[in-house]
C-alpha cells in the first residue's frame, strides 16, 4: 500500500491534525509503527482499541481511527482491563509514557504482569516527564539533568523490561524509534502473543530532555541510538561490563502462560453458564 | 425497627406519600383521581410482592440482589470494611450469569476498570468505603466528563483517614457531592432500609444508564449490615433501563451531540462506531477542545442533563407532614430513629412529621422550600457535624428555624435524642 493510503486509512486526518508533538519527537515514529503493524495484521479497525494515559505519549489515540480512550495519568492499564474483560474479542493496545507506566502507574503495571490479560502494552520511554516540561522520571539516568534535578539526578533508573520480567510478564521486548521495521515486527508479535505483552520503545524528547543534557539534535540522537543498540542474541555472550549503558533490543521473554480471559470463561462454564445460549456479553 | 407484619406495612404505606419535587407540568387527571389510581397500583404491587417468598437479607446483600436485577455484568473492587460482602457475593454470583468479577490492586484501578467495562457496553459497579472512596475520586470525575454510566456504592464509615472502620457514619455526604475536582453535578442516593438498598440499587443503575453518569449509592454501616425480612419485587415491578445506543450510520455519529434529551446515545467500543473518549473537555465529536464556546457548552450540558431532570431524579418521602409544625429532615438509618421519635412526639400531642430524602444530590431544594413555608422548625439529625443541614438552611432561607442535631462518636442517633429535640424546639 502507498504510504499516503496508509495515512488516510488509519489516521483521523480530517479531524485532529496538525498534531501537537515537537519536531524530532519519537512519538510519531511509534504511531507509524503501530498503524503499519495493524495494517499488516489486517486487524478490523472496529475491533481495535487504543488506550492511553496522560502525557505527550498519551495524546496518540486522538490521531488514530480506532476505538480510542484517553484516560487519567497512570491508569490506562486499569481502564483497559475493564474493556478487555467485558469484551475479550477486542484487540487492545495501551500506550504509556515512562512516567505513566512506571511512576504513577507502576502498581498497575506489575499487577497486569501477574494477571496475564491479553493486552498489548507499549511504553514510550523518553526518560523524562515530557508533557509537564521535563522533570525527572523513574527512567531518567542517574546524574542526568531535568527541571527537578538541575543539579543532577540522585535516583537510580528502572530498567522497564527487567521490571516487567520480574513481575512475571509473559512477553517482554524492547525496540527503539530508530529501528522502525523491527519495531513494527515486534508490535505484530506482541499482538500474536496470547497474554500480557510489554514492549518498551526507547524514544527521545529533544525539547525537554535532549536540550538540558546537551545531546544535540534529533538526528544525532538517532545515530546514538543506532550505534549503542545491541540485539539480545549478541548481548547474551557479553559481560555486563561490555554491555554497559548500551540498549539491548529484541524479545526477552515469550512464554505460554494461561491467559486470564480464557481462564475466566472456563470458570463461567464450570459455574453453569452457557455462552452459546446468550448473545455475546451485551 | 425490625420487621413488620404485612398489615402494619400496608398501614404505613397508606400514610406514606411521595412528594413530587415540583408541581409544575400538565395535569390531565384531577388530584383525587390520580391519588386513587396511585393507591390502587400500590395495593396491587404490594399484593404481588407479598405473594413472593420473604427473604432475610443484609443491606449489602440486598444491594447485590438489586444490582443483579438491574443487569450488572461487571464488578471491580478492593476489599474494605464495611462494604466487602458486596464484592464477596458478586464474585460468586457473576460467573454463572456470564458476568465478570475482578479484585483489583486498589480502588483507583477498580474505578478505572468499571469505566472500561461500561465503555465496552456492560453495566458495571464497584463498592467501597471512605478510604477507597477517596482514591476513586479522580476517575469518578472521568466518568462524569466522559459520560460513562456506572454505579459506585460507598458504605460510609467514620473518618477521616482510617477513622472508625466498623462504626456508622454519614461523613461522606459532602465528599460524594464535591469529592472530585471541578464543576459538576452528581446523583447520590441514600437508602434507609434493606428493601431500599435493593430498590435504590436498581434505581442507581437505571439513572446512570439513562443520564450517562456515575451514580453513587451512599449506604451507612447500619443499613449495610442490618438484616431485615423483605419480599424482593418481581421483575414486573423492577423496571430496568438500558442506555440508548445510536442507530445512525457510523459516519453520522456524534458521540457527544447536544440532543434535546441532553443525553447523547452511547455506542460501545466494538459496536462499529469508532470514536474518541477523553477526560479533557471535548467537542461534540469527543475531541479535545480549547474553544471557549465549546468548553462552556460541554460543561453546561453535563450540568443541565441532571439539574433539568430533577423531577425524576429527586426522590423525597414524607410522613405525618400535612399538619406538622415541626419537621425532621433525615436520611439513611437516622431517618428510622427520626420516624420513631415522631410517632412518640405525636403521642404527646406534638405535631411532628418526617421528610426523608432518598436522593441527597441533586439536593431536594423544592421540597425544602415548600416545607419551610409551612413548618416552624426543621430538625436535621446527622451522623456528622452538620453537612446536609447547610443545604437545608440555604433553601429554608430564614422562612423557618433549622436546628442541627449531630453525633460523631460512632454511635447511632437514638429516637430519644431526636424526641428530646422535638420537645425542646
Ligand atoms: C494525577 C496526575 N498527576 C500529575 C499529572 C501531571 N502530568 C501530566 S503528564 C505527566 C508526566 C508525563 O510523563 P510521561 O508519562 O513520561 O509521558 P511523556 O509526556 O513523557 O510522553 C504528569 C506528571 C496528571 N495529569 N495527573
Ligand atoms: S515535549 Fe518531548 S515528548 Fe513531548 S512532544 Fe515534545 S519532544 Fe515529544
Ligand atoms: Mg516520558
Assign residue A151 the CATH number of its domain: 3.40.50.970
Distance B108 CA to ligand 2 centre (A): 27
Residue A100 CA: which ligand 1 atom is closest? 15
Q: Which of B76, B105, B270 sits opposite A90 (nearest CB)?
A: B270
Whether A16 and chain B come into contact, CB under 8 Å, resolves to: yes
A7 part of a folded domain: no
The phi and psi torsions of A67 (rounded to 5 degrees) equal -80, 110
- Residue in A54, A56, A102, A157 to alter for ligand 1 test, most ligand atoms within 8 A of Cβ: A54
- Cell numbers 444508564 correspond to what residue? B209
- Identify the residue whose C-alpha is closest to ligand 2 atom 1: A130
Residues 6+ apart with CB under 8 A from A192: none
Kindly determine whether residue A71 and residue B276, on different chains, have CB atoms separated by under 8 Å: no
Q: What is the DSSP letter of A115?
A: H
Say if the Cβ atoms of B112 and A90 lie within 8 Å: no
Q: Is the CB of A208 under 6 A from ligand 2?
A: yes
Q: Is the peptide bond before B76 cis (omega within 30 degrees of 0)?
A: no
- Give bridge partners of residue B126 from the DSSP assignment: B152
CB contacts, 8 Å: B253 with chain A? none
C-alpha cell at A80: 483497559
- How many A from CA of A67 to the centre of ligand 1? 22
pLDDT at B4: 36
Alpha-carbon gap, residue A128 to A155, rounded angstroms: 13
- Fold (topology level) of B54-237: Rossmann fold (3.40.50)
Supply the pLDDT for residue A280: 47
Proximal ligand: closest to the CA of A212 = 2
Closest Cβ opposite residue B120 in set A15, A61, A86? A86
Q: How far is A113 from chain B (nearest CA, A)?
A: 12
* Residue carrying the nine cell digits 557479553: A238
Q: B203 vs chain A: nearest CA distance in angstroms?
A: 20
H helical segments located in B71-129 = 84-96, 107-119
- Give the pTM: 0.94
User: A268 touching B, CB under 8 A?
Assistant: yes
For chain A, the domain total comes to 1
Rounded (10°) angle between helices B59-70 and B194-211: 40
Where residue B410 falls (left for φ over 0; alpha for ψ -120 to 50; beta otherwise) is: left
Assign residue B182 a region: left if phi > 0, alpha if psi is -120 to 50, beta otherwise? Answer: left
Give the model's pLDDT for residue B12.
41
Contact B112 A275 (CB under 8 A): no
Contact A282 B121 (CB under 8 A): yes
Q: B2-48+316-424 is classed in which CATH architecture?
A: 3-Layer(aba) Sandwich (3.40)
Pocket of ligand 1 (CB under 6 A): A 54-57, 73, 97-100, 124, 126, 128-132, 137
Indicate yes or no: CB of A78 within 8 angstroms of CB of B288: no
* Contact (Cβ atoms closer than 8 angstroms) between residue B269 and residue A90: yes
Domain that holds residue A198: 28-281
Q: Domain for residue A2, yes or no?
A: no
Cβ of A68 within 8 Å of Cβ of B275? The answer is: yes
Contacts of B240 in chain A (CB under 8 A): none
> Distance (Å, rounded) from C-alpha A192 to C-alpha A213?
38
| Residue A1 resides in a domain | no
Residues of A with Cβ-Cβ distance to B97 under 8 angstroms: 273
Task: Evaluate the omega torsion of the peptide bond into residue B362 and state whether it is cis, within 30 degrees of 0.
Answer: yes
Q: Are B335 and B356 in contact (CB under 8 A)?
A: yes
- For residue A31, the CA-to-ligand 1 centroid distance in Å is 19
Q: Tell me the CA–centroid distance for residue A2 and ligand 3, in Å.
A: 32
A20 in a structural domain: no
**Minimum distance, in Å, between the CA of residue B244 and any CA atom of chain A:** 13
Q: Which three cell numbers stand for residue B414?
A: 437514638
Tell me if A130 CB under 6 Å of ligand 2.
Answer: yes
Alpha carbon A224 to chain centroid, angstroms: 21
Q: What is the pLDDT of residue B3?
A: 38
**How far, in Å, is the centroid of ligand 2 from the Cα of B150?**
35
Phi, psi of B309 (to 5 degrees): -115, 30
User: At CA A43, angle to CA A41 and CA A48, rounded to 5?
Assistant: 130
Q: Is B169 strand, coil or helix?
A: coil
CB contact under 8 A, B121 and A86: yes
Mutating to test ligand 2, I would choose from A18, A19, A22, A219 the residue with most ligand atoms within 8 A of its C-beta, which is A22
- Give chain B positions within 8 Å (CB) of A15: 285, 287
Specify if A197 maps to a domain.
yes
Looking at the CA of A21, which ligand is closest?
Answer: 2
pLDDT in tens, chain B (425 residues): 333 333 333 344 444 444 444 444 444 556 777 788 888 888 887 777 777 889 999 999 999 999 999 999 999 999 999 999 999 999 999 999 999 999 999 999 999 999 999 999 999 999 999 999 999 999 999 999 999 999 999 999 999 999 999 999 999 999 999 999 999 999 999 999 999 999 999 999 999 999 999 999 999 999 999 999 999 998 888 999 999 999 999 999 999 999 999 999 999 999 999 999 999 999 999 999 999 999 999 999 999 999 999 999 999 999 999 999 999 999 999 999 999 999 999 999 999 999 999 999 999 999 999 999 999 999 999 999 999 999 999 999 999 999 999 999 999 999 999 999 999 99
Which member of B269, B278, B288 has the closest CB to residue A67?
B269
Write the Ramachandran bin of B193: left for phi over 0, alpha for psi from -120 to 50, otherwise beta: beta
Asked if A105 and A77 touch (Cβ cutoff 8 Å), the reply is yes
Task: Answer yes or no: same fold for B2-48+316-424 and B54-237.
Answer: yes
Give CA torsion, residues B64, B175, B113, B70, to 10 deg: 30
CB contact under 8 A, B96 and A273: yes
At B98-123, the pLDDT tens digits run: 999 999 999 999 999 999 999 999 99
A166 touches chain B (CB under 8 A): no
Each residue's pLDDT, cut to its tens digit, for chain A (282 residues) gives 566 789 899 999 887 788 999 999 999 999 999 999 999 999 999 999 999 999 999 999 999 999 999 999 999 999 999 999 999 999 999 999 999 999 999 999 999 999 999 999 999 999 999 999 999 999 999 999 999 999 999 999 999 999 999 999 999 999 999 999 999 999 999 999 999 999 999 999 999 999 899 988 899 999 999 999 999 999 999 999 999 989 999 999 999 999 999 999 999 999 999 988 865 444
Q: List the helix and strand counts (H, then E) for chain A.
A: 11, 10
Give nearest CA residue, ligand 1 atom 1: A73
Amino acid at each position: 500500500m502507498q504510504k499516503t493510503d496508509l495515512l488516510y486509512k488509519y489516521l483521523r486526518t480530517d479531524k485532529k491534525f496538525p498534531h501537537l508533538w515537537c519536531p524530532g519527537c519519537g512519538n510519531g515514529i511509534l504511531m507509524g509503527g503501530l498503524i503499519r503493524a495493524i495494517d499488516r495484521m489486517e486487524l478490523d479497525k472496529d475491533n481495535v482499541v487504543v488506550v492511553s494515559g496522560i502525557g505527550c505519549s498519551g495524546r496518540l489515540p486522538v490521531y488514530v481511527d480506532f476505538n480510542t480512550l484517553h484516560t487519567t495519568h497512570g491508569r490506562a492499564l486499569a481502564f483497559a482491563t475493564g474493556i478487555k474483560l467485558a469484551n475479550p474479542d477486542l484487540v487492545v493496545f495501551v500506550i504509556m509514557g515512562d512516567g505513566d507506566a512506571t511512576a504513577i502507574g507502576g502498581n498497575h503495571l506489575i499487577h497486569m504482569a501477574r494477571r496475564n490479560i491479553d493486552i498489548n502494552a507499549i511504553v514510550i520511554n523518553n526518560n523524562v516527564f515530557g508533557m509537564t516540561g521535563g522533570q525527572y522520571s523513574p527512567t531518567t539516568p542517574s546524574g542526568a539533568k531535568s527541571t527537578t534535578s538541575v543539579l543532577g539526578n540522585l535516583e537510580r533508573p528502572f530498567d522497564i523490561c527487567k521490571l516487567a520480567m520480574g513481575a512475571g510478564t509473559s512477553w517482554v521486548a524492547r525496540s527503539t524509534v530508530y529501528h522502525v521495521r523491527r519495531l513494527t515486527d515486534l508490535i505484530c508479535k506482541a499482538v500474536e502473543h496470547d497474554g500480557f505483552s510489554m514492549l518498551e520503545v526507547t524514544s527521545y524528547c529533544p525539547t525537554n530532555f535532549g536540550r538540558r543534557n546537551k545531546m544535540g539534535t534529533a538526528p544525532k540522537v538517532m545515530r546514538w541510538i543506532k550505534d549503542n543498540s545491541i540485539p539480545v542474541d549478541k548481548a547474551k555472550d557479553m559481560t555486563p561490563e561490555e554491555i554497559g549503558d548500551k540498549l539491548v533490543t529484541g524479545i526477552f521473554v515469550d512464554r505460554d502462560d494461561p491467559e486470564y480471559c480464557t481462564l475466566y470463561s472456563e470458570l463461567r462454564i464450570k459455574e453453569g453458564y452457557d455462552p452459546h445460549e446468550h448473545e455475546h456479553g451485551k | 425497627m425490625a420487621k413488620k407484619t404485612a398489615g402494619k406495612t400496608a398501614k404505613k404505606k397508606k400514610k406514606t406519600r411521595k412528594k413530587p419535587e415540583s408541581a409544575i407540568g400538565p395535569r390531565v387527571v384531577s388530584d383525587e383521581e390520580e391519588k386513587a389510581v396511585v393507591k390502587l397500583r400500590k395495593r396491587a404491587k404490594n399484593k404481588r410482592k407479598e405473594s413472593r417468598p420473604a427473604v432475610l437479607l443484609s443491606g449489602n446483600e440486598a444491594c447485590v440482589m438489586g444490582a443483579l436485577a438491574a443487569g450488572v455484568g461487571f464488578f471491580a473492587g478492593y476489599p474494605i470494611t464495611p462494604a466487602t460482602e458486596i464484592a464477596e457475593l458478586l464474585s460468586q454470583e457473576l460467573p454463572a450469569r456470564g458476568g465478570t468479577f475482578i479484585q483489583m490492586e486498589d480502588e483507583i484501578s477498580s474505578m478505572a476498570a468499571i469505566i472500561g467495562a461500561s465503555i465496552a457496553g456492560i453495566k458495571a459497579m464497584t463498592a467501597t468505603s471512605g478510604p477507597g472512596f477517596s482514591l476513586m475520586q479522580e476517575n469518578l470525575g472521568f466518568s462524569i466528563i466522559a459520560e460513562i454510566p456506572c454505579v459506585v456504592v460507598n458504605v460510609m464509615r467514620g473518618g477521616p483517614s482510617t477513622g472508625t472502620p466498623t462504626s456508622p457514619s454519614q461523613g461522606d455526604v459532602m465528599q460524594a457531592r464535591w469529592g472530585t475536582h471541578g464543576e459538576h453535578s452528581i446523583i447520590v442516593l441514600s437508602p434507609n432500609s434493606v428493601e431500599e438498598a435493593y430498590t435504590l440499587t436498581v434505581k442507581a443503575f437505571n439513572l446512570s444508564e439513562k443520564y450517562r453518569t456515575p451514580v453513587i449509592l451512599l449506604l451507612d454501616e447500619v443499613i449495610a449490615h442490618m438484616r431485615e425480612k423483605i419480599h424482593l419485587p418481581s421483575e414486573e415491578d423492577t423496571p430496568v433501563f438500558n442506555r440508548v445506543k445510536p442507530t445512525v450510520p457510523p459516519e453520522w455519529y456524534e458521540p457527544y451531540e447536544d440532543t434535546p434529551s441532553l443525553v447523547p446515545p452511547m455506542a460501545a467500543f466494538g459496536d462499529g462506531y469508532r470514536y474518541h473518549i477523553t477526560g479533557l473537555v471535548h467537542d461534540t465529536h469527543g475531541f479535545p477542545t480549547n474553544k471557549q464556546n465549546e468548553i462552556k457548552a460541554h460543561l453546561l450540558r453535563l450540568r443541565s442533563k441532571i439539574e433539568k431532570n430533577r423531577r425524576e431524579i429527586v426522590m423525597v418521602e414524607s410522613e405525618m407532614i400535612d399538619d406538622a409544625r415541626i419537621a425532621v429532615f433525615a436520611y439513611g438509618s437516622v431517618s428510622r430513629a427520626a420516624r420513631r421519635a415522631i410517632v412518640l412526639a405525636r403521642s404527646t400531642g406534638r405535631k411532628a412529621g418526617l421528610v426523608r430524602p432518598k436522593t441527597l444530590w441533586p439536593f431536594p431544594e423544592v421540597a425544602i422550600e415548600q416545607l419551610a413555608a409551612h413548618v416552624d422548625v426543621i430538625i436535621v439529625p446527622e451522623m456528622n457535624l452538620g453537612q446536609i443541614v447547610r443545604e437545608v438552611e440555604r433553601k429554608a432561607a430564614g422562612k423557618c428555624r433549622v436546628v442541627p442535631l449531630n453525633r460523631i462518636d460512632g454511635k447511632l442517633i437514638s429516637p430519644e435524642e431526636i424526641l428530646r429535640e422535638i420537645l425542646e424546639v
